[in-house]
Amino acid sequence: MIASAVLSFMMVAHAKATTLQSESIVWAFTATAEKTSSVQPFFLTSRSELFRLYYKNLSDYNHSIFTGSIPRIESELKNKKLVCYPGSSSADKRKEFTYSTPQYIQPAPRLITRKEIADKILKKGEKSISLREILHHKELNGLITEARSYGPSADKIIAEKPNNLKTQFLDTFGSTILQSIAAGRVDYTLEYDFIVRTMKEGNPRFTELVSLPISDTSSTIVQYLACSKTPEGLAVIKRADEVIRKNIARSEYWKAFLESIPANERGSFQSEIDKYIAERTKAPVIVE
């Protein structure tokens, strides 16, 4: 009886000690994406299937969440031992202070402008526009979010620093820039099509906004999980890579992504997904 009681006490003590000794992962999400909003990209929140998989397969860690602007998230990644950001659109841009692994692909941001401007800048018969040409268009003024990545190919063009493109510290996926475009204070921005479509639903202010595919950037971009560039961060990235490769072919993995795309475009994007799965499952991918 006494021995049994002692054993039970030791097991409880060991469990408490293990919990106290567990590493803690701080998960960072962009402020707008975490807010309850009809425009939130569900696959970039802590309620997504991908985050559920991370939580399940990294159950030996303690988990906490904070939301903030992208500059704040980057500061946390640079200065804390184990912060992970599952919404990074560029591995190269944050390579100096993170380890990362690719999680999935999604349609790239498009050029967002008013219909009257689109009618003027689109050449006859064309449905896409050159980003480089727009950025050097003397009569148009653009605005994007400071520190946000729009994908490697778009970031490279933006890095040329055209005079008519301004940047501001704004919430990711927020409506501020779209409101400015609709009001005529700004002419264009870059944003995901599903964000604009969702904001246009039942909102007459955004009726005249259109999204144009960009001809001189990739049609899809990769989203990465980025963690602090520490031994602890690398350990999480390696395990996350394994989680991704084991689950990426499951239909549940892609459900939220596909639902964000118009029904008539899902077939072509599914083809891109199939090609990506075939490559992603071949071997571990760790960006160091």
Q: What share of the chain in percent tops pLDDT 70?
A: 88
For domain 110-212, the question of CATH label 3.40.190.10 is answered with yes
Average pLDDT, stretch 112-126?
A: 92
Q: Is the pLDDT of residue 183 over 50?
A: yes
CATH of region 2-105+222-280, choose from 3.30.43.10, 3.90.1200.10, 3.40.190.10, 3.20.20.140: 3.40.190.10
Residue 25 banded pLDDT, cuts 50, 70, 90:
very high
Using the predicted structure, report yes or no on whether residue 152 has a pLDDT greater than 70.
Answer: yes
Q: Which residue type occupies 70?
A: I
Burial string for 28-52 (b: 16+ CB within 10 Å, else e) reads bbbbbbbeeeebbbebbbbebbbbe
Please check whether the two domains, 2-105+222-280 and 110-212, share a CATH topology.
yes
Torsional sign, CA 222, 242, 84, 36: positive
Average pLDDT, the chain: 87
Range in 27-41, 99-113, 231-245 with the lowest mean pLDDT: 27-41
* Tens-digit pLDDT profile for residues 192-210: 998 888 888 878 889 999 9
Is the pLDDT at 6 greater than 70? The verdict is no
| Model pTM score | 0.84
Mean pLDDT on 137-150: 92
Q: Where are the domains of the chain?
A: 2-105+222-280, 110-212
> What pLDDT is recorded for position 142?
96
Q: Give the rounded percent of residues in the chain with a pLDDT score beyond 90.
A: 65
Nearest Cα neighbor of 200 from 36, 30, 38 is 38
Give 33-51 pLDDT, tens digit per residue.
544 444 556 666 778 889 9
